[in-house]
Structures are given as structure tokens and as C-alpha cells.
Amino acid sequence: MSTQQHPTVDVYLRVAAALVILTVLEVGVFYVPAFHPVLVPVLLVLSACKFTLVMMFYMHLKADSRIFTFLFGAPLILAVTVLVALLLLLLGALTLRGAGGAGAG
Amino acid sequence: MKSWLTTTDHKRIGLLYFWTAFGFFLIGGIEALIIRLQLAQPNGHVVSAETYNQLFTMHGTTMVFLALMPLSASFFNYIVPLQIGARDVAFPRLNAFSYWVFLLGGLFLNASWFVGPLFHAPTLNVAPDGGWFGYANLTERQFSPGPNIDFWLLGLQVLGISSLAAGFNFIVTILNLRAPGMKLMRLPTFTWMTLVTQFLIITAFPVITAGLVFLMFDRFFGTHFYVHEAGATPVLWQHLFWLFGHPEVYILILPAMGIVSEVLPTFARKPLFGYTVVVYSGILIGFMGWGVWSHHMFSVGLGPIADSVFSATTMLIAVPTGVKIFNWIATLWGGDIRGTTALHFAVGFIAMFVIGGLSGVTHASPPTDLQQTDTYYVVAHIHYVLFGGTIMGLFAGVYYWWPKMTGRLLSEALGKWHFWLQLIGMNLAFFPMHFIGLLGMPRRVYTYSPDLGVAQLNLVSTVGALLIAVSILMFLINLVRSRTSGERAPNDPWGGATLEWSIPSPPPVYNFSVIPTVDSRLPRWKTEHHGAMRDPPATPPAPIHVPGGSWWPLVAALGLPLMALAALTHTLWIVFVGGAVLLFGVYRWAFEPFEV
Amino acid sequence: MTHAHAGPPVGHHTSLGLDSRKLAFWAFIGSECLLFTSLISTYLVYKGRSVVGPYPHEILNIPFTSVSTFDLLMSSLMMVLALAAVQRGDMKWGKIWLFCTALLGTVFLGGQVIEFTEFVHKGLTLQTNLFGCTFFVLTGTHGAHVTVGVLWLLTLWVRALQGKLTQAHAMTVEISGLYWHFVDVVWIVIFTVVYLIQ
């Protein structure tokens, strides 16, 4: 089984520190009213960063064969697309068309 | 006998899948015959309305999940490892587990035909009755108080596990266990289509799992996932179901397309025309299949934007499909044709699937679909693509690979009878349904009025169904005859190009005495680019390790229907027993010394 | 049928030069993305549609859940340290870190139990409203996954205590780690989407 250089313990600790900081930022954004207008995009970006850090370093995707990234990434992209599609289809129906939208209700 | 219970050999598992799936196919067929008898005349009295609902639900559910998918699986199991030059699949015990879960799930589902009294029902049969797609909120406890829908949702969840496990298994097998030199673009088309199908399975099944879990919670724990009064919407079910359901139909058709792509070249003695394009089209169909699901919901009122988008994507998906059709025709064109039964079924597939595809294209337009949806027109479409398509393709596979799998040839004469009776029968059965539907007969109704003017057409359709039954009987006779007195098959009865034809029929337990090194897409044919490969020697140069069997896949599999049964009977402790059996089986499996 | 080995058992030729179990597991994780996305989509689609309370802002306890989140993130750190130890043959620290991971996982589960009990006391159950059913099924499914993970890790830990888990089994530990990190990653998404975006 050939993988490239394992990240060292040092890298793991720094990733852990980054994860903690990002979480603190997330909670901070939640509590600080000034950020509320941009709450959703900022939170999404922060959690995407955490997600990526865990995937790339703890789950080793950065150093491993790209096939693993594909096996995970393709379904992930599909999943996100499905989520967005469902939001558009169902939230659009439930809010824009109102409770009177017969087929949607 | 014990060796069959503990087998981990992909060839035996393939045969187990075949026999079990064929058995369920016959059951589904009988359900269809009863339906047709009921509909042969207006105001029929063959069965009650309630039983009729169970019949069409079980016919659909059985055919999709217990017949067509597992029949395809029998070829995935038997043939794919042979085509890639492997000794078995990547995870033989997981493979066995998939089979046992399938068998137990199918038995669980069909037990509903007999166990009414156990649930204090007025009838013997309490089979699922909400349609194979189980729309909410008909399926809520309020409107379906009996155990019928519980059988359905629990049975499907169990079966889903079988398919998912097999999906992971085959993906790894095809990616990682290929013989040296077998690059991806040298894979036989059947194996390619199998690979795409497995990706569809592992991505689509989780979605319906979620939908079924929600339904289960609504029915068992009083949640409101699909209850309008709570602010929810039954349309969510439809989305979740069809997000699964549309990829599912590609799961059903791609393997058959793969089979056709193998059979045509062999019996035209010409390579598949445009292999690369055919493969990419298959991949594209897989991807695009995820983008069309709401074409099943054109009458729901999603709005003009959604309708238009899905209409466009649906029309687009006809393109790669059409590309394949042209490539197949081009394969036959100018070839040295041998009219074997397998070839007849493959050509029949093309013709019937085109008809089904045409009715499908008419569905792609929301205005026309509004006339067609929920009528027999759709039933016509489904059966042209699934019967004329998948079933014909699978039979092509049977007539093609049966000699390899059993070491016996099937009778070509009986095969031709089977083919023609089936072709005529299916057209008699399903073509009138286009008209019956457009004349206004809805789906899923147990009878119709004589005033509708569809009585004669329905009668013709019933005659067609009976003819199909006769044709299947021919096939059964052929099968039995082949086993008892069929001519012995050589390694390569057809002059095939791919690796499975390089070894004995049936293959030895280790498949290849020496794993071949492959340097082309058509290893066994001599072409202008390369010579024909030398078949592996009759005996291996050194002893080959073959893993023994294992009980643990079967044991673990038993845990699942136990848990389903517990849910069905609302007894919590059996859930834990079932879970314990599953965990115990998995634990012993994980730490069993088993070397592939 | 013969049983003599044609070669070393774990030296089989593979087309990709990758471990089959690892390939299978990444495919499994890909599949699980679709499962959790279906659950999360349903939560999002039904957000704000509950006809009766309690509503998220009345019930969700961000400080408490932040601690849970921190706990799970740290457990991922323990997991990679466990793997690193096993990969270099240091079973002493391998056992310690494996146990710590399972311990932190159990703490997380304990936190979930406390949180759910609290919610029930405040009137939010599976049956109460859409928030109740979507929340509990989503987080419950996640919790079930964590439970399976804890059992898996404890099994490995016990086998390590018995001397049956060694450096040669590093792949097994790696795969259990993949599962564990995935479960953590799902929580990252849930924490953001359910708790922080209200």
C-alpha cells in the first residue's frame, strides 16, 4: 500500500488547533449581532473549511490516491446538488406559491 | 447442501441469484396473469378490489426488486470476475451476505400473502397495496392501517442493504481486481455497464432509505414527515422516491444494455462499433439519470420552471441512449450474422426498447404527459422498456452465458420458440395499452366500465399475457432439458472475444489456472492489431489457494429479517435479538481467518 | 480444491495498487453522503414549517452543543494519533489513543442523551412538530452512527489489549478512523445547519 508521506503529529495538532479556532469563530459569528446579515454565508464557509481540513489531513485525502477523492467527491457533489434542487423545488413551492398551491401542499 | 449455505464462490452465488430471482419472476408473472384475467372483461370478478391493489403492488415490487435486479446480479456475480480475469470478487463473504439478505427480504415481502390471520385481518393476504412507489399519504397509518405497507417498507429496507453491499463489492472488484493489462478502456462493455450501475445503486438507495425511514417513523412512532396538517408535504415522499426511482430504472436497463453490447459483436463476428462512445454514453446516462426525476411528477403542480427544466433534461437523456442504439445497429451492419437465440433476444431488445423509448419521449413533454400519466399509456411504456428491454436483454444473457455457467447448451430450437412466442405475446399484451390509456383507462383500477370502449383491447392484452406465459413455459422446458440431457458445452461455444470464453464451461473453482495478461479489448480474437490470446492451461502450474466457505454471512443476514419482523409485530425485544444476531454474525465474520 | 498458498495472503495483485478495503470504505462514505444529505435536506425543507412549538430558537442550547462539537473534534485528533501510533508499531500509545477516542465519543453520546432528555422535558418530542421529527431523526441517525463507531473502536481496543491488534493491522485502524472522521464531519455540518443557522 503506497501512500505518500504521512502527516506528522505536528500537522495533526495544528489541524486540531485550526478546527478549534474555526469552531470558536463559528460560535462567535452566531453570538455577535453585527455578523447576522452575513451569518449564513460566513458559517457555510467556516464549516466548509473545517470539513475540508478533516477530509484532507485526518482522512488523508490530500496525500492519498485521487481515486479515493473521486469515490467520495463525486457522491458529495451529487448530494449537494440534490440538496440545492430540493430546496429550490420544495421551498419555492411552499413559500412562493403559498399554502394555496394545491399540488405542493 | 451445507456447501451451498456457506459458499463464498461468486459462481455459486451467481447461480443462487439466478434461481431465486427466476422463482420470484414466476411469482411476479402469476400476479400479472391474475391482473390480466381480472381485466380481460369489464366488471370482472376474478379478484376483489383490495386484492387487486395488492396484486399490482406486488407485481411491480417483485419484478423490480426481486426479479430484474437480482437477475442482473446473477450475471454481475458469475460473469464480471471472469471478464476481468479475477478469481472472485473483492469481498466474497460480503457477496454471500448480499445474496442471503436478498433471499430473506424477498421471502419476508412475499410472506404477506399468507399471514393475514396473524394480524387479525379479514383476509389471508395482507400484501402491500399502495403501489410499487407507495405514495404518501395513502401509506400513512391513518389511511393504511393494516400491516400491508409495513411489509413493504421493511422489506424494501432489508433488500436495500443487499443491493448496497453488492454495490460496494462490485465497484472495488472492477476497479481493483482486473487482470494485468486490463485497462478500464479494455473492459468488456457488460462490466463497464455493471460498474456504472453499481455507482447508481450506492448513490440512489440511500435516498429511498431516508424516505422509507421517514415513512416508518410516521407509521410506527407518530411523526409527521408526510402529514399535511403538521406543515409537511406528501410531495416530499415523491421527490425522495423518484430521486431514487429514476436512477433505479437506469439500474434496471444498463446491465441489459451491457449484455446486448456483448451479444451483438459475438454473433456479428465484428467488434462493437464505437466502443468508446458506447461506454461514455453509458456513463453519461448514469449521470444524467440523476437530473430527470421530477418527470414522474408533472401532474403534481411543481410549477412551469420545474416542469420545463425536467422536460429538457429528460429529452436530453434520449441522446446518449439513441447513440447506443445507432452503435448497435452499426455493429450488426455488414457483420457475419449467426442467428442464435441470444442474438434474437438482443435484436428484440433493440426494437422493443426503441418503442418504449418513443413512448418515453412523449412523456417528456409535460402537456402530453398530463394526458398520459396515470393511464395505461404509462403501463405500456414501462413494459416496453422493462419487459421488451430489460427482460429481453436478460434472456439474451441467459442464452449467451448459460453454457458457461452450467456446462450445457440450451436448445436453440426451443429458444426460438420461446423468443417468437414472447415477442408476439408481449406486443399483443402491451401495444394495445397505449390506446387503452389514451382512451381514458386509468392505471391501478381493478375494473372498468364497458362504456369506456376498451374491453376488446383489454381482452387482446390478456391473450398476449397468456402467450407470454406459454413462452416462459418453453423457456422452463428448455432449462430443465438442458440440465438433464443438454449437449455439453465447450469452453467457447460462440467464438467469444472476452476472457470468460478462455476457460472451461463451467469454470474450475479458481476460474483461471493462470491469470492472463491482457493487451487488447478483444483478447480472444485475432484482429489486425493483435493476435488471439492463448487460453490458460487446463491445469494450474502450482496449487491455487481457494478460500473455504463461511457461515457468518448467512448468520448475519438472518439478523435483518428478524429485526424487520420485530418491527412488524411491534415487539421491541425481538429487535434487540435481531440486532444481536447481526452484530454477532458480523463480529465473527470480521475476525474469522479467511484469506481470499 | 487445494489450500496451499500461491503467494503471501496480503500480497495480492491489485489493479490500482490500493487496498480493497480502503476503496470499499471510501465508496461507503460516498454513499453515506447521500443518506445524510437526504436527512439534512428534509430538515431544511421543513424548517420554519412547524405548526406548533417548541421552535429551535427556544430550545437549542448553543453553549452546550459547542462543547459537544469541541469534544467530537478532539476525538478526531485522538483518532489520528491512535492511527499514527499503530502505524509506527507503538501499541502502548495506540491503545491509549484508541481508548481516548472511544471515551470522547461516549462523552458526546452522553451529551446527546442529556440534550434530548432536556428537549423532551421542554415539550419537544418526535411527535410534537416538524422540528421534532426532523431534528431527532437527523441527530438520532448521527448518534446511532457514533454509537457504532464507539463499539467498533472499543472492539479494536480490547483486541489490542489481548495482543491481537498489532502494527500489521494498521489498515483496520485506518478504516475505523475514516469512519470516525466521517461521523465527525457530518456533525460539523449538522452543528452549522441545525444549531447555528436558525
- Return the H-helix or E-strand segment holding C30: helix C20-45
Closest partner residue to A72 (CB to CB) among C16, C18, C29 is: C29
Candidates A20, A59, A80: best to mutate against C (most CBs of C within 10 A) is A59
Contact B7/B96 with Cβ under 8 angstroms?
yes
How distant is the Cα of C96 from the closest Cα of chain A, in angstroms? 15
Across the interface, do C133 and B180 touch by the CB < 8 Å criterion? no
Give the residue carrying C-alpha cell 478500464. Answer: B184
Residues of chain A found within 8 Å of residue B203, distances taken between Cβ atoms: 75, 78
Residues of chain C found within 8 Å of residue A47, distances taken between Cβ atoms: 188-189, 191-192
The answer to whether C162 faces chain B, any CB pair under 8 Å, is no
State pLDDT tens for residues B321-367: 999 999 999 999 999 999 999 999 999 999 999 999 999 999 999 99
Give the residue carrying C-alpha cell 504521512. Answer: A6
How distant is the Cα of C30 from the closest Cα of chain A, in angstroms? 4
Confidence of residue C13 (pLDDT cuts 50, 70, 90): confident
- C96 within domain boundaries: yes
Residue B528 has pLDDT above 90, yes or no: no
* Residue B249 to residue B240: CA distance in whole angstroms: 15
Find, among A54, A87, A90, A88, the residue nearest to A72 by Cα.
Answer: A54
Q: Could you tell me what percent of chain C has a pLDDT over 70?
A: 94
- What is the average pLDDT score of chain B? 96
Mean pLDDT of A60-68: 94
Across the interface, do B177 and C28 touch by the CB < 8 Å criterion? no
- C40 within domain boundaries: no
- C182 within domain boundaries: yes
Please provide the size of chain C in residues: 198
Mean pLDDT of C161-170: 94
The answer to whether B181 faces chain C, any CB pair under 8 Å, is no
Confidence of residue C8 (pLDDT cuts 50, 70, 90): very low
Across the interface, do B172 and C51 touch by the CB < 8 Å criterion? no
The residue in chain A having the minimum alpha-carbon distance to the alpha carbon of residue B168 is A71
Which burial class, exposed, middle or buried, applies to B415 when counting CB atoms under 10 A from its CB (0-12, 13-18, 19+)?
Answer: buried
Chains with ≥3 CB–CB distances under 8 Å to C? A, B
Residues of chain A found within 8 Å of residue C17, distances taken between Cβ atoms: 1-2, 65
State pLDDT tens for residues B196-237: 999 999 999 999 999 999 999 999 999 999 999 999 999 999
The answer to whether A44 faces chain C, any CB pair under 8 Å, is yes
Residues of chain C found within 8 Å of residue A15, distances taken between Cβ atoms: 77
- C70 within domain boundaries: no
- What is the average pLDDT score of chain A? 85
* Residue B407 to residue B289: CA distance in whole angstroms: 38
Give the residue carrying C-alpha cell 417498507. Answer: B153
Full domain range(s) for residue C183: 78-198
Candidates C23, C37, C101, C195: best to mutate against A (most CBs of A within 10 A) is C37
Q: For residue B75, what is its C-alpha cell?
A: 450475471
- C41 within domain boundaries: no
The residue in chain C having the minimum alpha-carbon distance to the alpha carbon of residue A58 is C80
Number of domains in chain C: 1
- Return the amino acid letter for B596: V
HEC string for B12-33 = HHHHHHHHHHHHHHHHHHHHHH
Find, among B362, B357, B406, the residue nearest to B504 by Cα.
Answer: B406
Spell out the alpha helix ranges (H) of B333-411: 341-363, 366-372, 376-385, 392-406
Across the interface, do B172 and C24 touch by the CB < 8 Å criterion? yes
Q: For residue B129, what is its C-alpha cell?
A: 397495496
Active site residues of B: 59, 88, 132, 162-163, 246, 248, 250, 261, 295-296, 321, 324, 443
- The pLDDT assigned to B248 comes to 98
Closest partner residue to C14 (CB to CB) among B177, B240, B543 is: B177
Across the interface, do B225 and C133 touch by the CB < 8 Å criterion? yes
Across the interface, do C13 and B180 touch by the CB < 8 Å criterion? yes
The answer to whether A53 faces chain C, any CB pair under 8 Å, is no
Mean pLDDT of A44-51: 95
How distant is the Cα of C118 from the closest Cα of chain B, in angstroms? 19
Name residues 91-110 of chain C within 8 A of B (Cβ): none
Mean pLDDT of C123-152: 97
Residues of chain C found within 8 Å of residue B229, distances taken between Cβ atoms: 51
Please provide the size of chain A in residues: 105
Peptide bond before C54: cis, by omega within 30 degrees of 0?
yes
Residue B583 has pLDDT above 50, yes or no: yes
Task: Look up residue B118 and give its DSSP letter.
Answer: G
State pLDDT tens for residues B258-299: 999 999 999 999 999 999 999 999 999 999 999 999 999 999
- C39 within domain boundaries: no
Mean pLDDT of B90-101: 97
Closest partner residue to A47 (CB to CB) among C29, C44, C189 is: C189
- Return the amino acid letter for B287: F
State pLDDT tens for residues C127-137: 999 999 999 99
Give the residue carrying C-alpha cell 500461491. Answer: C6
HEC string for B275-301 = HHHHHHHHHHHHHHHHHCHHHHHCCCC
- Number of cross-chain residue pairs from B and C with Cβ atoms under 8 Å apart: 125
- C20 within domain boundaries: no
Across the interface, do A79 and C197 touch by the CB < 8 Å criterion? no
Across the interface, do C14 and B169 touch by the CB < 8 Å criterion? no
Across the interface, do C34 and A59 touch by the CB < 8 Å criterion? no
Residues of chain A found within 8 Å of residue C197, distances taken between Cβ atoms: 39-40, 43
Whichever domain contains C197, its CATH number is 1.20.120.80
State pLDDT tens for residues B382-433: 999 999 999 999 999 999 999 999 999 999 999 999 999 999 999 999 999 9
- The pLDDT assigned to A102 comes to 41
Per the confidence metrics, is the pTM higher than 0.90? yes
The answer to whether C188 faces chain B, any CB pair under 8 Å, is no
Chains with ≥3 CB–CB distances under 8 Å to A? B, C
Closest partner residue to B233 (CB to CB) among A67, A75, A104 is: A104
* Residue C157 to residue C103: CA distance in whole angstroms: 11
Q: Could you tell me what percent of chain B has a pLDDT over 90?
A: 97
Residues of chain C found within 8 Å of residue B240, distances taken between Cβ atoms: 38, 42
Please provide the size of chain B in residues: 596
The residue in chain B having the minimum alpha-carbon distance to the alpha carbon of residue C50 is B231
- The pLDDT assigned to B595 comes to 79
Closest partner residue to B239 (CB to CB) among A74, A75, A89 is: A89
- What is the average pLDDT score of chain C? 92
Contacting residues for B335 by C-beta, under 8 A, at least 6 apart:
B267, B268, B269, B270
Name residues 33-72 of chain C within 8 A of B (Cβ): 34-35, 38-39, 42, 45-46, 49-51
Confidence of residue A92 (pLDDT cuts 50, 70, 90): confident
* Residue C161 to residue A58: CA distance in whole angstroms: 25
Across the interface, do A90 and B239 touch by the CB < 8 Å criterion? yes
